[in-house]
Structure 1
Amino acid sequence: MGLKSTSERYGAMIVTMHWLTALLMIILIATGFRAANTVDPVVKAAILGVHVPIATAVLGLMVLRIGWWWGVDRKPHPVAGSPRWQEHIARAIHLLFYVVTFGMIASGIGMIALSGAAPMIFGGEGALLPDFWKYPPRVPHGFGARLLLALVALHAGAALYHQFIRRDHLLRRMWFSR
């Protein structure tokens, strides 16, 4: 498998970025909801101490991915036999992943900046973790998390539909070939 994609399947570089981003997104969603539902500020700070660096890694991967698509690689052709409406929905969901993720990162940075929470999150002694609900970016961050969860479910559901109902081996395109 080469680094670049072919007309039929994704290359090793994008496959690696896809699955690494997917894993990190699942961790982000889990730690984000866990932090939101944690009352103890020390535990919440510890959870956010994992959440924030992973969000930074996702930002880096997404910027690298966009650069890879724009400057180095081309996406494979759509799956043969897919209706046009499915192709449009797939493109829209992928675009929404980028928009929502960048919005989540921006609102997360906004919350940390406005609240001054960085010292507590990153190990500052004696700093009190603020009530994030007092800061305007908290609302879009919470909405974005739920939207991101819905997008992940739609994306995974569509992949499973293609794999097991349509039996067009779509998942093979986004996995490492021999």
Structure 2
Amino acid sequence: MTKTSPKKYHPIQVTLHWLVVLLVVAAFVMGKSMSGLPNDANKLAPLALHMSVGVFTLVVIVTRFITRMKLPKPEHASAGNAFFDWIGKAVHYALYLLVFLTAVSGMSLSMQAGLVPIVFGGSGSPLPADFFDFTARMLHGFIVPALLLLVLLHVGAALYHQFMLKDNLLSRMWYGR
């Protein structure tokens, strides 16, 4: 008996997808808003929130990847062009990878800069004068724009499918039948 692919993603996948979207947007907005703040005690609360969102994002993206491998999923949507179809698949895996690497590079920065006792432990130690002194910060700063570029490509492709190809692609990543 041949098993047919579902027409939509499983509700768990849908929930995890949109949760990752919210977390990535929140982390990005927090990161950008903190970049103009001096590295003093006033930065501790926003930094704690940014770091917490980053760790939660890591947990969610790993969970999402595991469930993606285990749950049935629809066939890959075709753009009608083999090259674009290949790009679409590559972008999906790259999105997982870059969200993962963004969180890991943030955690690496936290370790290199000794941020956990400063931000969460109330050690009273000052924040580093310049986070760019740490390799992980430069890596974090390189990955985030690459991730944003892929997100724009992903959103653009989804809108192209929805409104140009009119294949109702967006319904696959939403709840219901």
Regarding TM over 0.5, the answer is: yes
**Pairwise CA RMSD of aligned residues?**
1.9
Alignment of 1:1-178 (within 5 A): 6-70=5-69, 72-79=70-77, 82-122=80-120, 124=122, 126-130=124-128, 131-178=130-177
Q: What do residues 141-169 of structure 1 show as CA deviations (whole Å, max 9, x unaligned)?
A: 00111111111111111111111222111
Letter in 2 for 1:161: Y
Cα pair distance change 1:170/1:43, threshold 3 Å:
farther
> How far apart, CA to CA, are the structure 2 residues paired with 1:115 and 1:152?
29
Q: Which runs of 4+ in 1 moved over 3 A?
A: none
Segment of structure 1 superposing worse, 92-101 or 137-146:
92-101
Q: What do residues 36-83 of structure 1 show as CA deviations (whole Å, max 9, x unaligned)?
A: 22225233222211111111111111111122123x313211225632
TM-score by length of 1: 0.88
For the 8 Å contact 2:34–2:47, the answer to whether it is kept is yes
Cα pair distance change 1:152/1:66, threshold 3 Å:
same
TM-score by length of 2: 0.88
For the 8 Å contact 2:10–2:73, the answer to whether it is kept is no
Q: Which has the higher contact order (CA 8 A, sep 6+)?
A: 2
Give ranges in structure 1 of 5+ residues lacking alignment. none
For the 8 Å contact 1:7–1:76, the answer to whether it is kept is yes
Alpha-carbon distance, 1:120 to partner: 2.6
> How far apart, CA to CA, are the structure 2 residues paired with 1:33 and 1:169?
34
SS of 1:61's equivalent in the other structure is: helix
Q: Give % identity.
A: 35
> How far apart, CA to CA, are the structure 1 residues paired with 2:68 and 2:8?
14
Give ranges in structure 2 of 5+ residues lacking alignment. none
> How far apart, CA to CA, are the structure 1 residues paired with 2:28 and 2:79?
34
Segment of structure 1 superposing worse, 48-57 or 72-81:
72-81
Q: Provide the aligned length of Structure 1 versus Structure 2.
A: 173
Letter in 1 for 2:134: Y
> How far apart, CA to CA, are the structure 2 residues paired with 1:146 and 1:38?
20
> How far apart, CA to CA, are the structure 1 residues paired with 2:87 and 2:78?
16
Letter in 1 for 2:68: W
